[in-house]
Amino acid sequence: MKINILNKGYIALAILLVAGTIYKIIAYKTWARYDYYSAICTPQSYPIYLQACYFITADADDLAWINDEKVNDFRSEWGDEGFPEARDPLRLPEKLVLKYAAYSEQKFYSDTLSLPVDVIQKVFKEAAKKNQLDELFKSGQNVKGLKFLVGVVPDGQVVVWLRGRFLEQVILKAKIAPKEPRSDEMYFEKPLSKSAYLNTVFEGLSDSLKTKIKSGWDQHANYLDTPTHYIDQNKDGWKSIH
């Protein structure tokens, strides 16, 4: 049976559609994507203002959002991850981008930190086997995944945890150096001087908190080695889930 030109066109279109679908699946790498939630925290005694905070993944089109709401509202507490809301499955993070101003030090910090991708992947796989994936909330439904929590303390010290059910593992400890900000990094509705920028971004701090910080509150605390009590605070709830 001869195939007319129209049918040839349909066949060619079908082949292109199939090829496009296969390419999209391969490029998207569904098998390499995970459900996870990310947040950042600071001690109450160390308020910062975040200018940039996100993960870079293996997919250049996917920057993993990090929940910074409590930090930039100066309501954060050490170890506080906030409400664990997941987005669409993402590739695992490979780098952490941090840029912030610190109130007590009146300094600016900025760096891009490499993450141990092999370690992160191993934790995800073992957590799935050991029933340590936690409940994450996404678009009105629950999904299973893990939580990244970034902690920032004085002198540019940073820690990153991976959390799940009965799971809290440090995957990175690092120290970043303060950097003098560029003029374009001190823009807040209009160009500002360094002191004016700091006054503006921290004007929401309460007077009582400013007074406590100026008095030296918590200045010798070693938060990087202080337990977050995350597992102790959640174990009863996990035990009740069958």
Q: Nearest 5°: phi and psi at 153?
A: -135, 175
Q: Nearest 5°: phi and psi at 131?
A: 60, 40
Q: What is the mean pLDDT of residues 85-100?
A: 94
Residue 229 lies in a domain: yes
- Which residues are within 8 A (CB) of 83 and not within 5 positions of it... i.e. 6 or more apart? 67, 137
Give DSSP secondary structure letters for 30-89.
GGGEE-EEEEEE--TTS-EEEEEEEEEESSTT-EEE-B-HHHHTT---TT-----B--S-
Confidence tier at 25 by pLDDT (50, 70, 90): very low
Which structure tokens are listed for 131?
């029933």
Question: How many distinct structural domains can be found in the chain?
Answer: 1
Bridging pattern class, strands 141-153 and 157-164: antiparallel
How far is it between the farthest Cα atoms of the chain?
92
Residue 25 lies in a domain: no
Residue 15 lies in a domain: no
Q: What is the mean pLDDT of residues 81-101?
A: 94
- Of 100, 70, 103, 68, nearest in space to 210 by CA: 103
**How many CA atoms lie less than 13 Å away from 214 in the CB half-sphere?**
7
Highest-scoring range by mean pLDDT, 20-29, 54-63, 84-93: 84-93
- Of 135, 136, 93, 84, nearest in space to 113 by CA: 93
- Out of 16-20, 134-138, 146-150, pick the least confident: 16-20
First-to-last CA distance in the chain?
62
Radius of gyration of the chain (CA): 23
CA distance 218 to 103: 14
Residue 217 lies in a domain: yes
C-beta separation of 178 from 166 below 8 A: no
Question: With the C-alpha atoms ordered 178, 42, 82, 197, is the resulting torsion angle positive or negative?
Answer: negative
Which structure tokens are listed for 92?
């695992």
Query: What is the per-residue pLDDT for 173?
Result: 96
Residue 139 lies in a domain: yes
Residue 90 lies in a domain: yes
Q: What is the mean pLDDT of residues 178-198?
A: 92
Q: Note down the domain range covering 163.
A: 31-239
Residue 8 lies in a domain: no
Position 26 pLDDT exceeds 80: no
